[in-house]
Every structure is written in structure tokens, then in C-alpha cells.
Amino acid sequence: MARRFIAFAWLLALVLLLTVVIVLQKPQIDSDILALMPQSDTRIDNVEAHFFADNKQQIMFSITGKHAKQAHDKLNEWLIANDLPARFNVPRIDVLSQFYAPYAGRLLSQEYRAALESQQAFNTFYYQKLSQLADPFVSTTIHLDTSLSLGSFLAQQMQTLQTFNLEENRLTVLHNDAKYYLLFAQINDNAFGIEQAQQLTASIEQQLSQLAVDFEQTTVRYSGAVFHTSANASQAKYEMTLFGTLSLLALITMIIWVFRSSVALWLASLTVLSAILGGATVLLMAFSEVHILTLVFAVTLIGIAIDYSFHGMLDLSSGQANGYSRGVKVALLLSLLTTSLGYASLYFSPMLLLAQVGVFVVAGLFSAWLCTLLITQQWQHQLIIAAPIINIANKLKKILLCWLKLRRYVLLASVLLIALCYLHTPVSFNNDVRLLNASPQTLIENEAFHLSLLGRGNGQIMIMFADDEQALLKQLASFKTTLSLQYPDATVNVLSDLLPSAAMQMRNSALVKEKQQQGFFTEVENMTGQPIIVSTKVLTLDSLLTSPLAPFIEQQVMISDEFVASWFMVTDVPTRVLAESASADPHLLVYNKVALLSEGLAHYSHSLLITLGCAILLAGFLFAWRFGVVCAFKQMAVLAVTIAIILSLCSVLQGSLSIFNLLGSLLVMALSIDYLIFYQVNQLSRENIIAISLSAVSSMWVFGMLAMSITPAIYSFGLTIMIGLIAIFILAPLTLAMPKRKEK
């Protein structure tokens, strides 16, 4: 009764402590992956949501084939009926003309500037404009500006803005001699919840299936972030349910099989719960904002914490002492110290995520260690190892003793394996975030195809920063001029096209006035009976933000207290050239989210590699202090060989390594250090062999099963742990000099 009370009191104290911390700290869960990236420019963090948040809510359909028009209309009706309104709106020319009219003469197109080079060129330009069958820009602006500078300016801008054709109120585009009808829709903010995303995707897919039945020889493609969310979430949910259930059942079965008692299950659960509660409490005390990925990465704590429970329970069940043996106490303490030191090194990582993982795991392990020492031993009299397990342990001991005699051959075979793997596939890291995408191939292909339909297949987004509006406009214009001279076929649509800088506007009006004085417009003024008036009013960003183009401009420019920024798309210019331009200009950035995420992952990988090195080094010092230099050397060698086997084998099986292999290696390293310590302290004792075997098998069940996942990140993590645990299970006993009795 008393021990149950103590256990519950312990749990209650941890829960209360966590609650107090939550109430006082009011922690926030952050899910912005880019925010974690140490090398990402903070300016990108500031502008990204403003510029590109809407894109996440857009879905796009392209329809082609025999009955494309009918399929388009039916899908459009369905989208409207399902509250998914079309996003695309063509600005009205007459409204635009009215807005820009007060600035006539200050905004000149390239065509108009060329026309002003000579009287003859201007007359040709002017008469050609008027003699055309119909020019909507001439019609809608000539009564506002008889010089036609305004009409010419608007015509140039609209041609840039309007990417698609409008055919009977349907958007179309020609691609590889085929006509595609396009539909864009805007989904609600709340559609990004996993459930909502899945529901929306399911209903759209159902509608597309119906269209496929109704309209033969017609292809409908769809793309949008929401479909990726849904596909990845469905896969993750399926795998979590399957693997979670299987591993939990296997773990429960294993514990009950070994101890033949539900008490062991309760104690193991209590230790893991203590670890999680203790870890979370200290984590939230240290950080008021926790990243969601911290919780994902910190799952490794469970694998290490449960081992304390196994070692503790098996030592207690041997019944050779009242309470824990000295050997187990020492081993548990050493294990806690080495693993904690390894994970503590993460705290000094420049990556916030890894620092949080480090704090969580160290605190969790301490909590699990306390629980094992203070609570678990209260149940000593109820812990008995089943007889069949003892027989298995005895047999395993004989095998390990034989194994020990063959240690040179085993080590040689290990080195040979590593060498062969390296020759087959040299170890290399590829942290391209796209490799982690678990979305169906069709969805990825649709995304790429739609980008090419939009003319962005070879496009690159860039962002220009400046101290103020005028500086930004000048920088944009200057960049465009330089790039266009170098690459005449390049397409660069920048804000300064729609809004020339005040200086440029002044130069334009000076040019028009000069030509007026030279008599360029006399013939026109006689013909129209209206004098040409050059505006003195300056078009500003504030004014443009009240224009019919405001929705477009608002999304393209951001004004903050510290800076003004604008993004733009560049096509038909090599990425290398743009990267060079960006590195030469501190105001210019190439925005490539995939590259940014990949770069961030590469930095995490680097940090993890350093952490692994630190962990091995720290463990080495402790081993040397506790077990002597020779033994420490053997243990270090085993750790190094284990890591080498993991990395080389994973390299062969995956083609290249990612951060998830290193994360798995870190967990294997923590478990390996535990095994090495327990082998040194408790040698090949029956309980020790069972505890280590139980730990290895349980970790394989819980984490190794993830190697069955088709999600690349989870697969890499699981595969690493599976290989690592097998390797260390074989190699760890080889560090023993000779069989010894358990320390008392």
C-alpha cells in the first residue's frame, strides 16, 4: 500500500511540477521549420509569411483532352458549390486607367521611350496605335491622356501581369501544342488541420473520379500544399497506428514473458512516464517556446529510459541482495553520467532544436534514474525472472563466451564489412529535403507540371531589401536593367515596373516636357483639339496600395519599421548567375525554400556529427577513469566500429545518408554506452545478459520497426537503429577481458 502511495505521490509531484511550469511559463509550441534554421537569414523569416502564406492556400487544376471544356465547367461549378471560390481576377482596364491617369507623362513604357527618340518615330507610333482595329488601352486612356503615354504604359504592364488567355471566361494556356483549361481556388485557413485536409482531399478526389467517368479521354491534374499535407498525414497516421500498436503489443508481451508479472509492466511504464514528465518540466523551464520537432526527436528518451527499468528490475529479481546490487547502482550512475554528458553537449549546439532535445533527454534520464532508484526497488519481492528466461540467459552466456574467444575474427569481419560497404557506396550525406517527401509521385509530378504551365518551371524567386521605398524601387530597376543586358531573353517582373521611382518619374516627365517643347506633340494636339499636360504628381507606394492593383501589390511588397522588401520572379537566367548576384549584393536574396531547408538540415547533421564525436570522447574519459585506459580503448574502438557499420551499411542501403541516420546513431550511441558499462560492471551475469538483451530487443521493436516505414525520414531512423543495435549487441561483449563475478 505504502509503495503504491509513494509511486502515485511521485507521479503526482511530477505532474504538479509540470502544471506549475506550464501555468507560469505559458509555453508556445512553434511549428515553423524555417525558424529553426540557424543559417536562414532573419529577414526571410520576417517576410516569408507575408509574401507566400497565401500560396499555401491555393489549389490548382489543369484540364486537357477531348472534353476539357465541359470538365472544366463541371469542376468549376462543383468548386463554387463547395465554397472554394476561384482566385483569379482580371483587373478592369477602365478602372486601372482612371487610377493611373493623374500620373500621365510620369510613367513611360519602353515602347514609348523609343518612340520619343525622333518626331518620325513618334508619329509612326501614334498613328499605328490609332489605326489598329481596336486597342482597349487607347480607347480607355486617350480622353485622359491624348499623348498615349498612359495607354502604352498600361498595355505593357497588363501584358506582363496576364499570364493566361481568357477564352469565354475560362483561363487557358497552351503547352506543348495542347490546350489546358486552368482553375485556381482558394481554400480556407482551417483546411490545414490534418482531418480537414484529408476530408477536402477525399471530396476533391471523389469529384475528379466522377469527372473521369463522365468525360472520357480527358485528364485532370491537381496540385496544392493541402494535398501534400493530406497524403503525408494519411501515411503517417497509418504507420503510427500500425507500428505503434505492434511495437506496444510486442513490448508488453516481452516484459510479461520475462517477468510473468504485470508489476514489471507497471514499473517500466512508470519509469518512462517519469522520464517524459521530468524532461518536459525542465524543458519548459528552460525554453518558453518549444518546437514541435523537439518532441519528435526527443522520443529517443523512451528507448534509453526503459533500459534503466530493465536493469533495475532484473537486478532486484536476482534476489541476491536487499535492494540493488552495488554493481547496478554504479552502472546506472555511470550510464546516466555518460549519456547525459553526451546529450548535454547538444545544449551548446547553435541549433535551438538540438539544444531543446539535449535538455529534455538529460532531465528525463535523471528523472528515470531517480524513479528506478527510489520507486522501482520498493517492488523487489514481486519481481521474479521466469525459469525459461534463465535457461535462455544461460545458453546466451555460453554463446557469448565462445564469441569472446573469436573477438579478433569478429572485429576483422566488421572492418572488412565496413571496407566492402565503403567500396560499394562511399559514405556521403544528402540532406536535400525533397528526399524526405513521402508524397505520392503523381502529386510531385503534378506540382512540377503545373509550375511549367505557369511558366515558372525554370523560374527563381528573389527578394530585394532596402531601407526605404525609393531605395527599393531604384535597386529593383537597376537589377532588372543589369540582368536584361546580360540575358535579353530573361523575364523579370519587378515592382518598379508598375511603380517607377520618384527620380525615374521625374526624368520621364522632364523627357516628355522636353519633347513637347520640341513640337513632338503639336500635330497630335491639333488633331485631337486637346493640349497635352504632363502631370507633376508623384505616384507613391501608398497610392498604389489603394489602387485596383492593391491585392497584387500588397502580396508583392512588405513595409516594416526596419526595411522595405519586395519579391519577384526571374526566369530564363541560370541559377548560378542569380546566386552570384545575390552574394554580391547584400540587399538581394535568392529565395529557395527547398535549398534553405536542405541547408538547415545539413547544419543539423554537422552539429549531430560533432555531438557524436563529443559523446564518444566523453565516454572514453569516463571509461578510462573507471575501467582503465586499455579497457577504455577497447570500448572506444567498439563504439567507433559500431558507428562505422551503421553509416556504411545505411549508405549502401539508402544510397546516401541524412540527418535521420545521425539521429538514430545518437540513440544507438547512448544505448551502446549503457551496454558497455553494464558489461564491464556486471560482466556476463545472467541478469545482465537478460537486461541488455531485453533492452536491445525492446529498442528494436519500438524503433527498429520504423525501418518498415515508406516515409524516408522514418525509414532512415529505424534502419539506423536496427543495424546499430545488432552491431552493438554483437560487439559490446567483446570488450570483456574475461568472465567475472558480479560486483557486490
Partner 1 sequence: MIRFVLFCLSCLLTTVISAAEQPPNRAGEFSQEKYFAGFTKPFISSGVFLLDAEQLKWQVTKPVTNTLLIKNGQVYLENAQGEVVLQPGAAPFVSLLQAIISHDLDALKPQFTFSADTQEGCSLLLPKDQLLSQLFVSFQLCVVAGNVQQVRLNEHNANYTIIRFNYSAPVKPTTAEASDIN
Exactly one of 130, 212, 640, 710 binds partner 1 (CB under 8 A); which one?
Answer: 130
Determine which residue in the list 4, 66, 143, 741 makes contact with partner 1, applying CB under 8 A. Answer: 143
Angle formed by the axes of helices 225-259 and 42-56, nearest 10°: 100
Of 9, 90, 212, 503, the residue at the interface with partner 1 (CB under 8 A) is: 90
Asked whether position 86 contacts partner 1 by CB under 8 A, the answer is: no
Q: Are 714 and 704 in contact (CB under 8 A)?
A: no
Question: Which of 658, 664, 659 shows the shortest CA–CA distance to 723?
Answer: 664
The stretch among 122-130, 589-597, 673-681, 731-739 that binds partner 1 (CB under 8 A) is 122-130
Residue 124 sits in the site that holds partner 1 (CB under 8 A): yes
Q: Which of 258, 254, 252 is nearest to 389 (CA)?
A: 258
The closest alpha carbon to 548, from 143, 93, 145, 101, belongs to 93
Give the amino acid at 612.
Answer: L
Residue 194 near residue 96 (C-beta atoms within 8 A): no
Q: Residue 176 interacts with partner 1 (CB under 8 A)?
A: no
User: Residue 514: exposed, middle, or buried by beta-carbon count in 10 A (0-12, 13-18, 19+)?
Assistant: exposed
Can you tell me which of 1, 168, 213, 489 binds partner 1, judged by CB under 8 A? 168
Does position 92 interact with partner 1 (CB under 8 A)? The reply is yes
List 14, 36, 142, 612, residue binding partner 1 (CB under 8 A): 142
Q: Residues near 104 by Cβ (< 8 Å), separated by ≥ 6?
A: 141, 144, 145, 147, 149, 150, 533, 534, 535
If one asks whether residue 310 binds partner 1 (CB under 8 A), the answer comes out as: no
CA distance 423 to 351: 33
Contact 498, 157 (CB under 8 A): yes
> Backbone dihedral region of 571: left (phi > 0), alpha (psi from -120 to 50 degrees) or beta?
beta
Residue whose C-alpha cell reads 504628381 in the numeric block: 537
Among 128, 203, 206, 394, binds partner 1 (CB under 8 A): 128
Decide: helix, strand or coil at residue 601: helix
| 80 contributes a contact to partner 1 by CB under 8 A | no
If one asks whether residue 529 binds partner 1 (CB under 8 A), the answer comes out as: yes
Least distance from partner 1 to the Cβ atom of residue 553, Å: 19
Eight-state DSSP code of residue 468: S
27 binds partner 1 (CB under 8 A): no
Kindly tell me which of 528 and 592 has the beta carbon lying closer to partner 1. 528
Q: Is 367 exposed, middle or buried (0-12, 13-18, 19+ CB in 10 A)?
A: buried
Q: 70 vs 269, which CB is nearer to partner 1? A: 70
When binding is defined by CB under 8 A, the residue of 20, 527, 640, 737 that contacts partner 1 is 527
Nearer to partner 1, 179 or 507 (CB): 179
- Give least dist CB 94 to partner 1, A: 7
Is position 182 an interface residue for partner 1 (rule: CB under 8 A)?
Answer: no
Instruction: Determine which residue in the list 19, 162, 391, 442 makes contact with partner 1, applying CB under 8 A.
Output: 162
Among 2, 23, 81, 131, binds partner 1 (CB under 8 A): 131
Q: Which stretch binds partner 1 (CB under 8 A): 121-129, 204-212, 549-557, 713-721?
A: 121-129
d(CA 680, CA 627): 8
Q: What is the CA radius of gyration of the chain?
A: 34
By CB under 8 A, tell whether 165 contacts partner 1.
yes
Whole-angstrom distance, CA of residue 359 vs CA of residue 13 = 20
Q: Is residue 66 involved in binding partner 1 (CB under 8 A)?
A: no
Q: Is residue 479 near partner 1 by the rule CB under 8 A?
A: no
- Minimum separation from the CB atom of position 146 to partner 1 (A): 8
| Residue 136 engages partner 1 in binding (rule: CB under 8 A) | yes
Q: Does 140 bind partner 1 (CB under 8 A)?
A: yes
> Cβ of residue 138: shortest distance to partner 1, in angstroms?
9
Confirm or reject binding of residue 155 to partner 1 (CB under 8 A).
yes
**Where does this chain touch partner 1 (CB under 8 A) — which range of 89-97, 218-226, 329-337, 696-704?**
89-97
The arrangement of strands across the sheet holding 58-65 comes to 165-167, 170-175, 178-186, 58-65, 218-224
Phi, psi of 384 (to 5 degrees): -135, 140
Closer residue to partner 1 (CB): 116 or 659: 116
Minimum CB separation of residue 100 from partner 1 in Å reads 15
- Residues near partner 1 (CB under 8 A) are 90, 92-94, 123-124, 127-128, 130-137, 139-140, 142-143, 155, 158-159, 162, 165-169, 172, 174, 179, 527-530
